[in-house]
Amino acid sequence: MSKTLIVIAGPTAAGKTVLAIQIAKHFNTEIISADSRQFYREMSIGTAKPSKEELESVRHHLIDSHSIHDSFSVGDFEKEVINLLKELFKSHDQVVLVGGSGLFINAVCNGFDELPVASEETRKKLNKLLDEKGIEHLQEKLKKADPVYYAEVDINNPQRLIRALEVFETSGKPFSSFRTNIPKKRNFNIIKLAISPNREKLYAQINLRVDKMIENGLLKEVEELKEYSHLNAMNTVGYSEVFEYLDGKLSKEQAIDKIKQNTRRFAKRQITWFKKSEDIHWFDPQESGSILNYLDDAIFSLRNGDQKN
C-alpha cells in the first residue's frame, strides 16, 4: 500500500483541471480523467476538455480515448482505470484521478457491481421513448421504478436514466437493489479532495464558460454531430439544447440560456453527490498551497503508517 491515488472531485467549472495539473507536476506524475464525456473524441468544446497546452504540460489518460459510437459503461471505466493504475504505479508513487462524475470516481475507489445486460431491443425501446416523449417521461418512469436511485442520479442525464430503466426492465428489480455497497479492496491508498468556490462565483464561472464555448464554436461542433443526435452520448448538457435550437424548437439565445441553467442544475447535483462522502476534504480552488500541504502531510502519514505495520 505504498502507492496513492489522489482524487480531485467537484462540480463543473470549479477549476479541477488547473488544480490537477498543479498537483501532477508537484508529484511528477500523470492524470486520469474521470469525466463521463471527455473520453469521446468527437465532443471537445461542449465537454470543456483541457487545452492543447494543458494536455502537453502533463500526460493525461482517458481523454479522446473513445468514440461516441463505442459502448463504454461505468463498469468498463472501472476495469480500464484499474488496469491503467497497475501500469502507472510501476513508475509513479502517486497518480491523479480528476473529474466531476461521481459514479465513475466511486467505481474506481469502491468498485462497481455487476449488472444485468439489457437486450438491444430494450435499449432501442427506451431511446425511442426518449425521442418521442422526452426526458421528463423517462424521469417519471424511473421515479416509479426506483425512487432510491432517482433521488441521487443526475436526472438530466438520459444515459443514466436509460441504463437504470434497462436494468429494471430486464430483471424486474430496481437498479439500486443491485448495489451491494460493499467496497472492493484496492491495493493502493486513496486520498479524496473536492473543490468548489461559493455558489455565486461558481454560477458566474459556469455562465462565462458557456459563453466561451459559444465563442469557440460549440454551435458548429454540435451541428456537425447532428446525424448522431440519437446516440446516448449526445443526450447531454450543452449538446441536447443546441439540437433543440437546430430543430427550430429554441432560439439561439434560449438555447444558450438553457445550457447555462441546466449546467448550474448539474453542478448543484454534483455538489450534493460529493457532499454525501464523509472521506472527501473540501477546499476553495484558490487554496492550492494549502491543498499541496494537505496532500504532502497525508502521504507522509500513510507512509509512516506503512512502515509501522
Domain harbouring 145, CATH code:
1.10.20.140
Residues 144 and 109 occupy one common structural domain: no
Cα 194 off chain centre by:
13
Residues 141 and 285 grouped into a single domain = no
Determine the Cα–Cα distance for residues 149 and 132; give it in Å rounded to an integer. Answer: 24
Residues 127, 261, single domain; the answer is no
Whether 115 shows a pLDDT value over 80: the answer reads: no
Mean pLDDT calculated for residue range 131-146: 92
Place of cell 507536476: 25
The confidence score (pLDDT) of residue 51 equals: 95
Of the chain, the percentage scoring pLDDT greater than 90 comes to: 77
Question: What percent of the chain is modeled with pLDDT above 70?
Answer: 98
Q: Name the band, by pLDDT with cuts 50, 70 and 90, for residue 307.
A: very low
Whether the CB-CB separation of 154 and 160 falls below 8 Å is answered with: yes
- Same-domain pairing of 169 and 275: no
Whether the per-residue pLDDT at 279 is higher than 60: the answer is yes
Amino acid (1-letter code) at residue 306: D
Kindly state whether residues 149 and 186 are assigned to the same domain. Answer: no
Taking the C-alpha atoms of residue 14 and residue 35, their distance in angstroms, rounded to an integer, is 13
Confidence tier at 120 by pLDDT (50, 70, 90): confident
pLDDT for the residue numbered 262: 96
Number of domains within the chain:
2
Q: How many other C-beta atoms can be found within 10 angstroms of the C-beta atom of residue 25?
A: 11
- Of the pLDDT bands very low, low, confident and very high (cuts 50, 70, 90), residue 49 is very high
Across-strand partners of 246? none
Residue 192: domain span: 4-113+181-308
pLDDT at 114 over 80: no
Instruction: Report the pLDDT value the prediction gives residue 287, as an integer from 0 to 100.
Output: 94
| 196 pLDDT above the threshold of 70 | yes
State the Cα angle at 285 between 283 and 290, rounded to 5°.
55
User: Which of 178, 196, 219 is at the close of a domain?
Assistant: 178
Count CA within 13 A, CB hemisphere, residue 86.
5
Residue 224 has pLDDT above 50, yes or no: yes
Same-domain pairing of 144 and 170: yes
Please provide the average confidence, as pLDDT, over all residues in the chain.
93
149/16 Cα distance (integer angstroms): 27
Pick from 140, 156, 178: which residue ends a domain?
Answer: 178
For residue 87, CA distances in Å to 25, 73, 305 come to 19, 22, 24
Exposure string for 6-15, b = 16+ CB within 10 A, e = fewer: bbbbbbbbbb
For residue 269, pLDDT over 60 is answered with yes
| Helix residue ranges per DSSP H, the chain | 16-26, 52-57, 74-88, 102-110, 120-133, 135-145, 147-150, 158-171, 199-215, 218-224, 240-246, 252-275, 288-308
The strand pairing partners of 4, in sequence order, are 94, 189
> For residues 29 and 31, what is the distance between their CA atoms, to the nearest angstrom?
7
The string of pLDDT tens digits covering residues 83-110 is 999 999 999 999 999 999 998 999 999 9
Phi, psi angle pair for 170, to nearest 5°:
-80, -40
Alpha carbon of 278 to those of 23, 51, 63, 94, 284: distances in Å?
22, 32, 29, 22, 17
- 75 has a pLDDT exceeding 90: no
Is residue 53 pLDDT above 60, yes or no?
Answer: yes
Question: How far is C-alpha 180 from the chain's CA centre?
Answer: 22
Mean pLDDT, residues 233-246 taken together:
94
Q: Assign residue 165 a region (left: φ > 0; alpha: ψ between -120 and 50; beta: otherwise).
A: alpha
Whether residues 41 and 88 fall in one domain: yes
* CB within 8 Å of 108: residues ≥ 6 apart: 5, 7, 34, 77, 78, 81, 82, 97
| Domain match, 60 and 136 both | no
